[in-house]
Amino acid sequence: MNPIAFKIGPIPVHWYGIIIAVAIGAGLLTAKRLGRHFDFYSGLFEEFLVWALPAALVGARLWYVLFQLDYYLAHPGKIIAVWEGGLAIHGAIFAAIGVALLWTRAKKINFLRFADVAAPALVLGQAIGRWANFVNQEAYGSPTDLPWALFIAGEYRHPTFLYESVWNLLIFIGLYYFLKSKPEPGRVFALYLVGYSFGRFFIEGLRTDSLMLGSLRVGQVISVLMIAAGLVLFFLANKMKRKVQDGEINPEN
């Protein structure tokens, strides 16, 4: 597949950018729709994206550079060459969470409820965005003779971008309907951390382009840490619910 969709004069417009734009748009519409159930005002998520998108781009690039540091120290001019590839989703997620923590504090919005609403939107965007990897013929797995293998880089391989896209779509459906039941703040976000990371851990093991930390795959290490963080958050949300029910905490405070 030609990675260039069309040209505007001499300027090429890549499928990668189009797909990422669609992913962002789908995530935004989803967040706005879900946000209405929690009285988030119109325009809230657009305001957030003004800050979060640049931070996510920088975070995704810096994360990739950090784990390819020897190469980029030798070629510092390549650090900003994002058009050559090299964006890591974990860096984007952590940067966006950092911005959300600061932004919701400034706006006096409950961060955990905001994160609950953002989580289904984020994972839907991830499900769509993985198809940008298909267009660029990247984020694929090891050779296999399974019937659903795709011909990539001269061999039939695990389509790991497809695996993650399907997994993320399933996570989205589960989180979307769970959020509509209005669970305790933080529980949907916690399930995102656990669910996405659980699938990513196993899918990462099939990939051939993993960022490495010594002999460990960075994606798997981070997945384990995110699962642990999600389980702790889910437990704390349940504990908070019990304290409210027992009258130990005023839910309006």
- Could you list the pLDDT tens digit for every one of the 253 residues in the chain? 788 999 999 999 999 999 999 999 999 999 999 999 999 998 999 999 999 999 999 999 999 999 999 999 999 999 998 877 889 999 999 999 999 999 999 999 999 999 999 999 999 999 999 999 999 888 999 999 999 999 998 899 999 999 999 999 999 999 999 999 999 999 999 999 999 999 999 999 999 999 999 999 999 999 999 999 999 999 998 776 655 444 444 444 4
The whole-number pLDDT of residue 205 equals 97
Residues 6+ apart with CB under 8 A from 206: 141, 142, 158, 160, 163
The whole-number pLDDT of residue 128 equals 98
Nearest to 177 by CA among 186, 188, 167, 168: 188
For residue 55, count other CB atoms closer than 10 A to its CB: 20
Residues 6+ apart with CB under 8 A from 91: 59, 60, 61, 62, 63, 64, 66
Which amino acid is located at 82 in the chain? V
Strands 4-8 and 11-14: antiparallel
The whole-number pLDDT of residue 249 equals 44
The whole-number pLDDT of residue 153 equals 85
Q: Give the bridge partners for 207, in sequence order.
A: 141
The whole-number pLDDT of residue 77 equals 92
Q: Where are the alpha helices (DSSP H) in 67-141?
A: 69-74, 89-107, 111-136
Report the C-alpha gap between 245 and 21 in whole angstroms: 43
The whole-number pLDDT of residue 237 equals 85
pTM of the model: 0.92
